Amino acid sequence: MSDLRDFAVKGDKKIKLKSFPTKPDDSVSKEKIIKKTQANLKKMGEFQDRLYSEGKEGLVLIFQAMDAAGKDSTIKNVMSGLNPQGIDVYSFKVPNSEESSHGFLWRAIKCFPARGKMAIFNRSYYEDVLVVKVHKLYESAKIPNRCKHGDVIAKRYEDIKNFEKYEYNNGYRIIKFFLNVSKEEQKKRFLERIDLKIKNWKFSASDVKERAYWDEYMEAYESAINATATKNSPWYILPADKKWYTRYLVSEAVVDVFKKIAPQYPVLSDEAQNNLQKDKEILLSEE
Ligand code: AMP
Ligand code: MG
């Protein structure tokens, strides 16, 4: 299993998270995969240049995962192939008071890039159907009772689906990654963060507490993915126990969406071409 299609969820059938692997098959060669990733990063840079020059379509990459699944280092790897002038990275933390006094999509809408540019979301509005669902945070939210009636989370799935459709209809593509780390690998990485002084800062007191809700989180991810995966805004459930493999599959998905966008450098009109020639003559006739 090393074909991107094996990890894509497009809403045509319901998935079970348990049937997705957290690591590559033994047959997968690390050396070959790293070479392919390098080639993909180069392609991504070329596509991004065209995307920017054309300025027609915007691209948003969303990363969601349990703690220590490798979101930060995967994002760093994606960025290494891209021109920082055409992309911004946003991290979504616990909402501040201004954010929580607005609708849950408000802070993300502000981060949508101009068409021609890209954005990476390190967490996103999906937190509002993940951590918020696991801890029922909506119960204590300052919102009218009518907004708490019925299934708050099911309504949010609908809102997200409609929002992503709205963005697609307005010239944006959104692809969503769930970095699927195993519980054992998370433990290993937490222990490393505790034992290695230079990694201590990455460990937060809440990490072990949240880990205790592992099964609830898996249920929340599975149901969010099933409710919001669509052909135009797919989810990718990527094995995350081996970072080199996650990076490769992310690069494959980004190249794949760029192929769908198929951005082209603008072709000048005849008049503009003529003007270029005139400018060329002026430059060449300089003393
Ligand atoms: P980190 O990304 O590890 O720096 O942590 C950010 C924390 O913010 C995570 O524990 C998220 O679950 C939390 N967070 C992000 N968005 C929300 C939200 N809408 N409501 C509550 N917690 C959130
Ligand atoms: Mg954390």
Distance CA 16, CA 57 (A): 32
* pLDDT tens track, the chain, 287 positions: 579 999 999 999 999 999 999 999 999 999 999 999 999 999 999 999 999 999 999 999 999 999 999 999 999 999 999 999 999 999 999 999 999 999 999 999 999 999 999 999 999 999 999 999 999 999 999 999 999 888 999 999 999 999 999 999 999 999 999 999 999 999 999 999 999 999 999 999 899 999 999 999 999 999 999 999 999 999 999 999 999 999 999 999 999 999 999 999 999 999 999 999 999 999 999 98
Nearest to 189 by CA among 99, 279, 109, 72: 72
C-alpha 58/C-alpha 114 separation (Å) is 7
70 touches ligand 1 (CB under 6 Å):
no
User: What is this structure's pTM?
Assistant: 0.96
Q: Is the CB of 93 under 6 A from ligand 1?
A: yes
Residues in CB range of 60: below 8 A, 6 or more apart = 112, 113, 118, 119, 120, 121, 167, 172, 173, 174, 175
DSSP string, 93-117: -S--HHHHTS-TTHHHHTTPPPTT-
pLDDT at 1: 56
- CA 181/CA 160 separation, integer angstroms: 24
Q: How far is the CA of 217 from the centre of ligand 1 (A)?
A: 13
Tell me the C-alpha distance between 118 and 261, whole Å: 13
Q: Is the CB of 95 under 6 A from ligand 1?
A: yes
Which residue has a Cα nearest atom 2 of ligand 1? Answer: 93
Residue 86: the pLDDT is 98
Q: What pLDDT is recorded for position 149?
A: 81
Tokens matching residue 142: 């300052």
User: Residue 30's pLDDT is what?
Assistant: 97
Strands (E), the chain: 8-9, 58-65, 87-91, 118-122, 172-180, 235-239
Q: Which domains does the chain have, with CATH numbers?
A: 4-285 (3.40.50.300)
Structure tokens belonging to residue 130? 């993940």
126: Cβ below 6 Å to ligand 1? no
Please name which of 6, 119, 58 lies closest in space to residue 258, comparing C-alpha atoms.
58
Residue nearest to atom 7 of ligand 1 (CA): 93
Q: Is 132 in the pocket of ligand 1 (CB under 6 A)?
A: yes
**CA-71 nearest atom, ligand 1:** 2
